[in-house]
A and B are shown apart, each in its own frame.
Chain A
Amino acid sequence: MQPQTIFDKIWSSHIVNEDKNGECLIYIDRHLVHEVTSPQAFEGLKTKKRVVRRPNLTLAVPDHNVPTIDRTKGIVDNESRIQVDTLLKNCKDFSVPFFNIDDERQGIVHIIGPEQGFTLPGTTLVCGDSHTSTHGAFGSLAFGIGTSEVEHVLSTQTLIQKPAKNFLIKFTNKLGKGVTAKDVILYLIGQIGTAGGTGYVLEYAGEIIDDMSMEERMTICNMSIEAGARAGLIAPDEKTFDYLYNKPLAPKGKDWDMAVKCWLKLKSDPDAKYEKTLLIDASKIEPQVTWGTSPEDVLTINSTIPNPEQYTNSEKKKSVIRSLKYMDLKPGQKLTDVEIDKVFIGSCTNGRIEDLRKASKILKGNKINPNVKAFVVPGSGLVKKQAEAEGLDKIFKSSGFEWREPGCSMCLAMNADKLKPYERCASTSNRNFEGRQGRLGRTHLVSPEMAAAAAIKGKLFDVRKI
């Protein structure tokens, strides 16, 4: 048999039908659902009198639109409340399992999937959200879909797809001190651009990936979509199995043992073919910060703002001018001179327990700058509970951070958490698009450690110097 990549293996084991054009009907093993991209899908099912084929392979949770402060009064915003209520009603009508807003297991879809053992190696997993790529950290072929496809999966448990191409990102050498998974993925996006992975699945490999925890691997895979790739993949190993062992929805007993045997075979074969390969020297990566309005606009913290004149491509030059105007930054300005108004720690990229531990370690014994308003939004109720058990909430609060309820929050600012016009934020989220965190708001993407450092200093700062 031809040597296969992990993608090839998962893909070929999920083909239900293949037509003459190479277009496949692939089986979907896991479907996560949230309130924003599902109401129209359920409405479609109702209109056409269709049913949900495998409700048990589906898990729903409200996350995008939920408040992160006082939930005792329910959701105050009328539209947000209707959307969340609609999700709950749809789940009841179609017997889809869900975690309600008052359930401690509620949280961001991409955090609760792994937490519950819903995410498993070798599965196909989809969700009406582009950051579904997160689950690739477990060796699950996971990607975001639109609402029409949500309806398609609910109704048929399959999707019409063509296979993606394989792109191997292989890291050599070790990471320097104070350099995180977030820096690695931002650096990669800076190298290949936001369309560099379009049409591909990115497979991450190398010693630094082997050394990373599952949560760090999730941060890497999460932002694959920011490089244009719908999915990222990392071969499952002992760390993956340790993480999943005994999770509520993971297989148990003999089934577990047999499943692990299947999962061990998922690793790409030694001679597998990749349409593209990129070698990256990990020792060259330093803490990263975005300066523009695209995740590819990224630099090492000790850099200066680029000059539009240095770009020969006229489109790129125009877009840099536009970004700098939007971000109110000047060519030549030092990134470490950029003052910030807000700090956001959270999101499906960096809202897990290790992220909170790392940020709190920087904050311990420090006060945040009085000009900065900072808040932490744990990725799930269980993350919040664990953090509180470890006393992390107290560290955050005594440094001046607000400690919030779980949800997507200011990553996309659908709820009340947003930047005011012209406010500048150091954020652990994944997108720095114009208006992403609030109309005319300015976002600098960073790691949790760098976000904590920025909060203390009141400006972008190299965490290695704290």
Chain B
Amino acid sequence: MKEFTEVQGVTAPIELSNIDTDMIIPKQFLKTIKRSGLGEGLFYEMRYDEKGNLNKNFILNEKPFSDSKILIAFENFGCGSSREHAPWAIKDFGINVILAISFADIFFNNCFKNGILPIKLNKEEIDFIISNLQKYKNILKVNLINQVITLGTSDIKFDIESHRKESLLNGWDDIDLTLKHKEKITSYEENNPNSFWIHIER
């Protein structure tokens, strides 16, 4: 995975709570066997009308937001299904950071596996950013090393768990990290007192 240090770019506010994974990437795009190319399906039912024409009123279809690198929304972003197609679509569209008041667990976790940084901010901070974005051409800078979001002359600090930060900064692959514990996994299997009933003979 590519290393993540800083993202600067256009930020699109989608002023909704409970943006669910069906909204982010509808079912017809789940039939793929690839990870790439899902950007075209991002927010499909909001971006296109029934005939497949671009809905000009949807923010990601407007300039400059069609080149957004950052999304901002309210509560419980990414609720619903576990489909990793949701972060794949977001990433493929060009978005690398999501700011929200809260996230659904599975989605939040899936973001990190794909080099997307989801940041939790409080409501005042989200409202502040949304109401002041225009003054600064809708541009935010998100620096992961210092854990700071910059809007014009204002800095907003954010929290991130240290291991997640380290993984993103280094672009680490979780499986590679886990395979370093291979002996511990084997030892767990060999010493598990329940293995007599957990094991399946076929």
Contact = CB atoms under 8 A, between A and B. Distances in A.
A194 B194 CA distance: 35
B2 to A, nearest CB: 15
Contacts of B20: 294, 431, 433-434
A412 B33 contact: no
Contacts of A322: 16
Interface stretch (B3-11, B63-71, B150-158, B180-188): B180-188
B187 to A, nearest CB: 8
Nearest to B198: A29
B185 A262 contact: no
B197 A120 contact: yes
A199 B108 CA distance: 11
B178 A21 contact: no
Contact of A433 (B22, B32, B50, B84): B22
Nearest to B166: A21
Contact of A431 (B16, B33, B80, B179): B80
Contact of B110 (A56, A148, A431, A436): A148
Nearest to A297: B18
Interface in B69-87: 74-76, 79-84, 87
A40 B35 contact: yes
Interface string B166-202: 0000000011011101101100110010101111111
B27 interface: yes
B96 interface: no
Interface string A118-159: 101011000011101000000000001111110110011110
* A interface SS class: loop
Given A123-B198, A195-B102, A414 B31 contact: yes
A39 B30 CA distance: 11
Given A130-B82, A155-B175, A319 B106 contact: no
A147 B20 CA distance: 18
A319 B23 contact: no
Nearest to B177: A160
A16 B200 contact: no
B152 to A, nearest CB: 25
A294 B26 CA distance: 16
A190 B75 CA distance: 17
Contact of A228 (B76, B110, B196): B76
A99 B182 CA distance: 30
Contacts of A148: 84, 110, 113-114, 174
Contacts of A433: 20, 22-23, 80
A249 interface: yes
Interface residues of A, number: 79
Interface residue tally on B, bucketed by range? 35 or more
Contacts of B81: 129-130, 144, 412, 431
A255 B80 CA distance: 38
Contacts of B17: 315-316, 319
Nearest to A23: B163
B162 interface: yes
Name the residue in B34, B76, B196, B198 with the highest tally of chain A Cβ atoms < 10 Å from its Cβ: B198
Interface of B: 15-18, 20, 22-23, 26-28, 30-35, 45, 50, 74-76, 79-84, 87, 102, 104-106, 109-110, 113-114, 161-163, 174-175, 177-179, 181-182, 184-185, 188-189, 192, 194, 196-202
16 contacts: A16-B184, A23-B163, A39-B33, A39-B34, A53-B185, A82-B33, A122-B194, A149-B109, A151-B175, A156-B178, A158-B185, A160-B177, A199-B105, A262-B197, A294-B18, A414-B28
Q: List 5 tightest A-B contacts by C-beta distance, closest first.
A: A148-B113, A39-B33, A259-B197, A146-B110, A146-B84
Interface of A: 13, 16-17, 19, 21, 23, 25, 27, 29, 36-37, 39-40, 43, 48, 50, 53, 56-57, 64-65, 77, 79-80, 82-83, 86, 97, 118, 120, 122-123, 128-130, 132, 144-149, 151-152, 155-158, 160, 194-195, 198-199, 228, 230, 249, 251, 255-256, 258-259, 262, 294, 315-316, 318-319, 322, 412-414, 421, 431, 433-436, 439-440
